[in-house]
Structure 1
Amino acid sequence: MSDQTHRTPRSRALWVLLACCALAGVLVAALLFPAAGGFGLLTNKAATTVENSSSELLDGTVPEVTTMTDSTGKPMAYLYDQRRIQVDYDDISPDMIRAIISIEDKRFLEHDGVDWKGTIRAFLKNSSSGEVQQGASTLDQQYIKNYQLLVLARTEADREAAIATTPARKLREVRMALTLEQTLTDQIMRDKNIDKAAAKQEAKKEIVTRYLNIVPFGNGAYGIESAARTYFNKSAKDLDVPQSAMLAGMVQSSSALNPYTNVSGVTDRRNLVLDTMIANFPNRAAEFAADKSKPLGVLPQPQSLPQGCISAGDNGFFCDYALQFLAENGLNRDAVLRGGYTIRTTLDPQVQASTKSAVQAVASPQLTGIANVMNVIKPGSTSHDLLAMTSSRDYGLDQRRDQTVQPQPYSMVGDGAGSIFKIFTVAAAMQKGLGSSASLDVPTTYQAKGMGSSGGVNGCPENTYCVKNDGKYPRTMSITNALAQSPNTAFVKLLNEVGVPSAVDMAVKLGMRSYAQPGTSGQGDLSLADYVKQGNFGSFTLGPNAINPLELSNVAATLASHGTWCPPNPIKSITQKKRDRNGNTVIGTNGEPEVTAVAFTPPACEQVVEPGLADTLANAMSADDRGGGTSAGAASSAGWNLPLAGKTGTTEAHRSSAFLGFTNNFAGATYIYGDTTSPEDICSSPLRQCYGGDLYGGFEPARTWYNAILPVANKFGPTSLPPTDPKYVEGSQNGRVPDVTGLSASSATARLQENGFKVEQSTTTSPQSAGTVVSTSPSGTAVPGTTITIYVSDGQGRVATPERNLPRLPPTTIQLPGIGPIVIPGSP
């Protein structure tokens, strides 16, 4: 047995007295000489931690609920890891203040942060019993412990240290409590120019407010305002006496004292609080005594606040993207969850609703294996504001209802956007000097050497990419008609002339930024852009690779913004309530809380192509909804009759298709793709999985776009397209193709070569003399230095001319009964 077992009551008292003396000595040493030995029992590292913690404690910032709203300010998601709404002293019921002081620290208004009487009493009690029965912590000390536990602690070790029952922690707590009261008092004296006694009373208000704002009250409620709403659906300033007493009692153990699982325990604790209030406020004793017989009066179930994007419904995809965008640009998720910000987004509820309706009209949320996604962006030279983001799939976690939280509208998905990628080839050609007035050669088939391989299929030579058109087209077509009707051979031939690297770089510049990211090729760390350029794949212009639908929409926004690329921006503003140095909300002259802007650093906008190029290309894309354009039928069925730049796209296997369109007000793209791990072919009317797909971009994708945008097309003003730039209509001077029609093949070749072009010769049937050039392709303008095809007459189309020396037959006279003789003239 130990010596302690044989101590007499007298010797035990002596040991207690000696312990008290030792405690006093330690406290004095620690408080007077904090640097010497690092608080006596603390290491130097711990002493540094104390100083840093003291600085943050004085600031008093606590985690709060962040609210994300749409562009009108309507909340759509609440983001937090502690459900707390910070309030000021005047926003808390006076009876709540009385209740918490009565039960937790009745000498709160008298001490300087540490209740020495209570500390010694607790020490004696704990020493005599051999266990911890009394804590003697003041509100100041409890605030400090909770602040370290709930705000400063980031690891489990931090949390254990914050609640450790050790002399070192207790000493640190005592020092901080004294420092907190003294520093706040001094600050208030300076700020308000009042005497120390008045400043101390203000400091007391500040400390009890901070305490009530930080402590947990159970059922996910942190702080008194959240607690009042959780249990009584009212603000903290409206709490009555029994409600205040209940909440004051619950801070002892918010888990054990749960009014929904332990009614009797919570009632007993509440009544104990009321007993302390009777003792401390005898003039209201009768009132408080009567309150003891009242029921708890809590709500039938605790009122909660939905947490995270999962509660945002149809706006969930947008919410997730906004958080990703902030994290990528300087405001991480942890900061958002603890910052108490108001994040006003660019989401336009009218545009979002119209988009969602159009998307689901052609693709049911429960459609097997197929998703329809669409993003809408407002063009601009300083920002590309994201107005709508949606999928035909409902956002959610219920897989039985085909819900998803996968980032379908803004991640690399599907088999590709098909012929939409032809605009990158045209843009690259225009940048090199091709004018939009040019005519493109449209061969029935085209074999491209050194641009990948078709694998010898259908007689295609080895190491050759062979392509043919899906339908019949004229031998040459204007760029506008070629973009509208989309013959494949014309654009693969143009890509061969422009160069694959130029078209790939153009795609990245205009908005397909993921293509430049490492690992997007599926070939190790190689980016998709580098993979395509290294392989010199002629198929790039036919869009066979997975896309990020948001980036495709942003391509439209870049062209609609006169060639200015900006990141797809979901954030309108981020603000935070402005607080003074004591943590109180600053109220403006209008009586409303003042706010401060929260900075984050999105990428800057870039002028990626000249405005004239973008504007002229927009006009070259303006025939898709008219005449023989691939989306003309969809436009007509929707009643679309406004100016538009558009392009459809379909992959070869019909496993995905898209439509890109823009006006001066709206830019966006729709994308239908197989959203399973093993996508199948897709058929149209109705949309479904099938064998041997027949879905085209001009069908459901275009119909989705027109039906989504038409109801809001003039929301931001009249719809229009920009004027063309003559420089890009006519092309560069060294891209002008000389008119060589009527010349001999040799003369035409020489003249074209003098202008820097290569020449190919093709024979055509024509009434002109054999050997005469009938036409060229391209004509007007071409990419400088590329090949011009001259079509040379074979002379076989000439009509025979009558010989002038042939004898003429004499006139013939015939007799018709009842009429008489008729003379028929002679003929050659």
Structure 2
Amino acid sequence: MVFPFVGGLGLASNRAADTVDQTSGDLAKGELPLVTTIQDMNGEPIAYLYDQYRVPLESAQISDTMKAAILAIEDKRFFEHHGVDWQGIARAAAKAGVDGGATQGASTLTQQYVKNYMAFVLGVDNEQEAWEKATEATIGRKMREARVALQLEQQMSKEEILTGYLNIVPLGNQTYGVGAAAKAYFNTTADKLTVPQAALLAAIANRPSSLNPGAAPEKALERRNLVIDKMRENNAFGTDQAEAEKKATEYKAAPLGVVDDLKILPKGCVGAGDGPIYGFFCSYLLDYLREAGITDKQLQRGGLTIKTTMDPKATKAAKTAAEQQVPKTTNGVSNVMSVVQPVDGKHKVRALVASRDFGNSAELGQVARPVPAEVLPFGPGSVNKIFTAATALEKHVTGIDKMIDVPATYASRVYPNGNTPWVVKNAGKYNDKMTLTQALATSPNTGFVILQEKAGLDSVVDMAYRLGMRETLQGVNRGGEPLKADKSNGPSQGDWTKQNNAGSYTLGPGATSVLELANVAATIVSGGKWCPPTPVEKVIDRYGKEIPLKEKPCEQAVDPELANSLAQAMSHDTSGSGTAADAAKDAGWTRPAIAKTGTTEEHKSVAFLAATPQYAGAAMTYADGNAPQVICANPMRLCPGSSQGVFGGQGAAPTWFNTMKVIHEGLPPAGLPPASPKYK
């Protein structure tokens, strides 16, 4: 008598059959939205991503008390029926015949499982819209729900359906399922829930907004006690009526017992394990994963385990060092650092930090962008002289031990200033001639402008790209703004530099990425092998299978002998008369390292790039306010109009040395490779 009635309503029509079959099949698989965990290099969680906070459980991990509570209030005949309350369906059909609606008719727990699945699993793009559709008061919805419930009862055991329901049901405050709710409301696990606790969760199931124990404690208490009474009626407290009544009275006298500070799993990069410190890395990681083919749906609902390259020791050391130079609340000045380790054939990002904390509070000076990794609208200054030196070596314009001209003033006719020569001056006093190695250590402007003329500006820009300044040169325009897909806000910074014959490129006035600077250093100490700076070791799906990523392959950017020779030429900046010598001495730094400082002409930004064979890094101090001004040191501050602006050896270099001193603890000193005779 039942099935003809169902068929008469069109429930088994071929048009709907495929969708129904698919839904019941998916439900049987039990693939629910799960929490994605981001781990540091040691496997410790640093952040979580989710649309729904859920702790999936097996049946044995849920207390019998919890099961008894939900059955008592929602479906006391659960183990007797076959998935559908036919009397309720008949009432709904009769009601529909009167007013076109289907507001009557209780749903079984199986039907509720189906309804929740349609809302919270299938409703990926618009959960509210999906919930409204899954609960719409129409006979058609009731019929679809009933059909799936019938099929589900043939594919799953009662215990599996009950467990599935208890894993999917919304319980308020971002929690879904009793595993998450037990932790959030009571700081316990689902297998240890007491009767009052289980009754409260059963009370608010599917009605978490109106029965929120925080916002509506009296209503929540009233319904919790109703659940306890239903449990007693269902013999959950035994068949001795007097004893059961006594227990029920005791349970109803208990307070709600919800913890004052709900134990909700931190969510996103702002809520990272040590958000103010780890958030920058987390933010960059998510951008990287999207580029590598991981979708937002996978990140927020896939239950992935993302094993990253982040080193908490390096990150905390860099954060401390950055704040030592520029306190986090310094008005208009920020200090950022990136650390990359060339190891195992990859360039692994170990730390991304800023003196500012990661967060959304502008009043506290926080920033919620991956500033140590993104292209900033500030220049690295003389750090760009590395690219001129590398190009001059490759084209055999000079060698690392050969003398180059270093006049006090140079008028360039290759890079004219309108109709007149472009006049370049040195910032200090130098000999008229010095070796390329001495020039990299002491940084005279004129010598590198002359070298750039001889090597060719286009080739110098191309060299910068090859060594690692990829997004900086081809991903943003001259102002550091990301290029639009149609390049309507272009050309790129690299193309603009070439098209406008901008000879100042070697002096580094344009936008730059501190992470890419760090990766340039990693490329040089890796024998000229460029690899994309990667923040991820691997991504594991919910089944333990690794998900392949679309990552760029490594490239041999320059001849290894050239890279090694350039490294030797850059090895004198931390000693003698090098621009970073004082910072190295103050930090007690004695290890061999390549290094280059940089200061922009107006002293609004300074940078430092350096590396040992074990670790590479870069730091930049810059004016990050709405109206960038000159920066002065001791203490670091804005000083508009001052002629005593900060230099790279004062702001950025100490950050690098104080960070790397900690990171290198316990590592044996490693020497730099020898220079090749053909580049001397």
Structures share fold, TM-score greater than 0.5: yes
Equivalent-residue separation in structure 1 for 2:425 and 2:253 (angstroms): 89
Q: Which residue of 2 aligns with 1:793?
A: none
Equivalent-residue separation in structure 2 for 1:130 and 1:467 (angstroms): 85
Equivalent-residue separation in structure 1 for 2:570 and 2:576 (angstroms): 13
Q: Which residue of 1 aligns with 2:7?
A: 28
Instruction: Report whether the alignment pairs 1:420 with 2:386.
Output: no
Q: Secondary structure at the match of 1:109?
A: coil
Contact kept, 8 Å, 2:101 with 2:138, in 1: the verdict is no
Instruction: Report whether the alignment pairs 1:467 with 2:424.
Output: yes
Deviates more, 1:114-123 or 1:82-91: 114-123
Select the residue among 319, 323, 326 that pairs with 2:282. Answer: 319
Select the residue among 288, 292, 299 that pairs with 2:252. Answer: 292
Instruction: Report whether the alignment pairs 1:333 with 2:296.
Output: yes
TM-score of the pair, normalised by structure 1? 0.75
Q: Secondary structure at the match of 1:389?
A: strand
Deviates more, 1:232-241 or 1:396-405: 396-405
Select the residue among 184, 188, 196 that pairs with 1:242. Answer: 196
Q: Which residue of 2 aligns with 1:524?
A: 489
Q: Secondary structure at the match of 1:437?
A: coil
Contact kept, 8 Å, 1:31 with 1:175, in 2: the verdict is no
Instruction: Report whether the alignment pairs 1:562 with 2:527.
Output: yes
Instruction: Report whether the alignment pairs 1:410 with 2:373.
Output: yes
Select the residue among 680, 687, 690 that pairs with 2:629. Answer: 680
Contact kept, 8 Å, 2:530 with 2:554, in 1: the verdict is yes
Equivalent-residue separation in structure 1 for 2:8 and 2:100 (angstroms): 26
Q: Secondary structure at the match of 2:276?
A: helix
Q: Which residue of 2 aligns with 1:738?
A: none
Q: Deviations over 1:25-57 (max 9, x none)?
A: 55124678521xx25xxxxxxx65445434433
| Cα distance change of structure 1 residues 531 and 175 upon mapping to structure 2, 3 Å threshold | same
Q: Which residue of 1 aligns with 2:150?
A: 178
Q: Which residue of 2 aligns with 1:276?
A: 230
Q: Which residue of 2 aligns with 1:811?
A: none
Instruction: Report whether the alignment pairs 1:394 with 2:357.
Output: yes
Q: Which residue of 1 aligns with 2:468?
A: 511
Deviates more, 1:528-537 or 1:111-120: 111-120
Select the residue among 136, 156, 160 that pairs with 2:132. Answer: 160
Q: CA deviation at 1:387?
A: 1.3
Equivalent-residue separation in structure 2 for 1:261 and 1:293 (angstroms): 20
The residue type equivalent to 2:510 in the other structure is: N
Equivalent-residue separation in structure 2 for 1:262 and 1:469 (angstroms): 72
Q: Which residue of 1 aligns with 2:582?
A: 633
The residue type equivalent to 2:277 in the other structure is: D
TM-score of the pair, normalised by structure 2? 0.91
Deviates more, 1:95-104 or 1:627-636: 95-104
Contact kept, 8 Å, 1:245 with 1:274, in 2: the verdict is yes
The residue type equivalent to 2:415 in the other structure is: M
Select the residue among 98, 102, 115 that pairs with 2:85. Answer: 115
Q: Which residue of 1 aligns with 2:619?
A: 670
Q: Which residue of 1 aligns with 2:265?
A: 305
Q: CA deviation at 1:551?
A: 1.1
Equivalent-residue separation in structure 1 for 2:91 and 2:226 (angstroms): 21
Instruction: Report whether the alignment pairs 1:144 with 2:114.
Output: yes
Select the residue among 213, 220, 228 that pairs with 1:266. Answer: 220
| Cα distance change of structure 1 residues 49 and 314 upon mapping to structure 2, 3 Å threshold | same
Select the residue among 575, 584, 598 that pairs with 2:540. Answer: 575
Q: Which residue of 2 aligns with 1:752?
A: none
Equivalent-residue separation in structure 2 for 1:502 and 1:533 (angstroms): 10
The residue type equivalent to 1:689 in the other structure is: L
Q: Which residue of 1 aligns with 2:559?
A: 610
Q: Secondary structure at the match of 1:81?
A: coil
Q: CA deviation at 1:432?
A: 2.1
Q: Which residue of 1 aligns with 2:483?
A: none
Q: Secondary structure at the match of 1:673?
A: strand
Equivalent-residue separation in structure 2 for 1:92 and 1:423 (angstroms): 63
Q: CA deviation at 1:540?
A: 0.8
Q: Which residue of 1 aligns with 2:654?
A: 703
Equivalent-residue separation in structure 1 for 2:222 and 2:96 (angstroms): 25
Between 1 and 2, higher relative CO (CA 8 Å, sep ≥ 6) is seen in 2
Unaligned runs of 5+ in 1: 1-20, 40-46, 185-202, 456-461, 579-594, 731-828
The residue type equivalent to 1:27 in the other structure is: V
Select the residue among 453, 456, 467 that pairs with 1:496. Answer: 453
Q: Secondary structure at the match of 2:404?
A: strand
Q: CA deviation at 1:503?
A: 0.7
CA RMSD of aligned residues (A): 2.5
| Cα distance change of structure 1 residues 284 and 537 upon mapping to structure 2, 3 Å threshold | farther
Equivalent-residue separation in structure 2 for 1:71 and 1:561 (angstroms): 21
Q: Which residue of 2 aligns with 1:438?
A: 402
Q: Deviations over 1:643-697 (max 9, x none)?
A: 0110111111111111110001110111011101321111222222122342111
Q: Deviations over 1:290-339 (max 9, x none)?
A: 43343332223533232221121221111111111111211133321212
Equivalent-residue separation in structure 2 for 1:504 and 1:351 (angstroms): 31
Q: Secondary structure at the match of 2:376?
A: coil
| Cα distance change of structure 1 residues 519 and 622 upon mapping to structure 2, 3 Å threshold | closer
Contact kept, 8 Å, 1:430 with 1:728, in 2: the verdict is no
Deviates more, 1:535-544 or 1:23-32: 23-32
Unaligned runs of 5+ in 2: 480-487
Q: CA deviation at 1:528?
A: 0.7
**Greater Rg by CA:** 1
Q: Deviations over 1:455-492 (max 9, x none)?
A: 5xxxxxx2422212222222321111110011111111
Contact kept, 8 Å, 1:619 with 1:721, in 2: the verdict is no
Equivalent-residue separation in structure 2 for 1:84 and 1:251 (angstroms): 14
Q: Deviations over 1:767-825 (max 9, x none)?
A: xxxxxxxxxxxxxxxxxxxxxxxxxxxxxxxxxxxxxxxxxxxxxxxxxxxxxxxxxxx
| Cα distance change of structure 1 residues 423 and 280 upon mapping to structure 2, 3 Å threshold | same
Equivalent-residue separation in structure 2 for 1:571 and 1:101 (angstroms): 45
Contact kept, 8 Å, 2:170 with 2:206, in 1: the verdict is no
Q: Deviations over 1:687-715 (max 9, x none)?
A: 22122342111122112211111122245
The residue type equivalent to 1:179 in the other structure is: Q
The residue type equivalent to 1:532 in the other structure is: T
Q: Deviations over 1:13-32 (max 9, x none)?
A: xxxxxxxx9x9655124678
Q: Deviations over 1:221-278 (max 9, x none)?
A: 2110111112211000111222212211211511112223333432332233233323
Equivalent-residue separation in structure 2 for 1:560 and 1:30 (angstroms): 74
Q: Which residue of 1 aligns with 2:672?
A: 722
| Cα distance change of structure 1 residues 271 and 131 upon mapping to structure 2, 3 Å threshold | farther
Q: Deviations over 1:608-641 (max 9, x none)?
A: 1122221221111000011111111111111111
* Within-5 A mapping of 1:216-235: 216-235=170-189
Contact kept, 8 Å, 2:50 with 2:299, in 1: the verdict is yes
Q: Deviations over 1:338-388 (max 9, x none)?
A: 122232322212111211111111111121211111111111362211111
Equivalent-residue separation in structure 1 for 2:162 and 2:635 (angstroms): 65
Contact kept, 8 Å, 1:452 with 1:535, in 2: the verdict is no
Task: Count how many residue pairs are aligned between Structure 1 and Structure 2.
Answer: 658
% identical aligned pairs: 43
Q: Which residue of 2 aligns with 1:764?
A: none
Equivalent-residue separation in structure 2 for 1:55 and 1:516 (angstroms): 50
Instruction: Report whether the alignment pairs 1:543 with 2:499.
Output: no
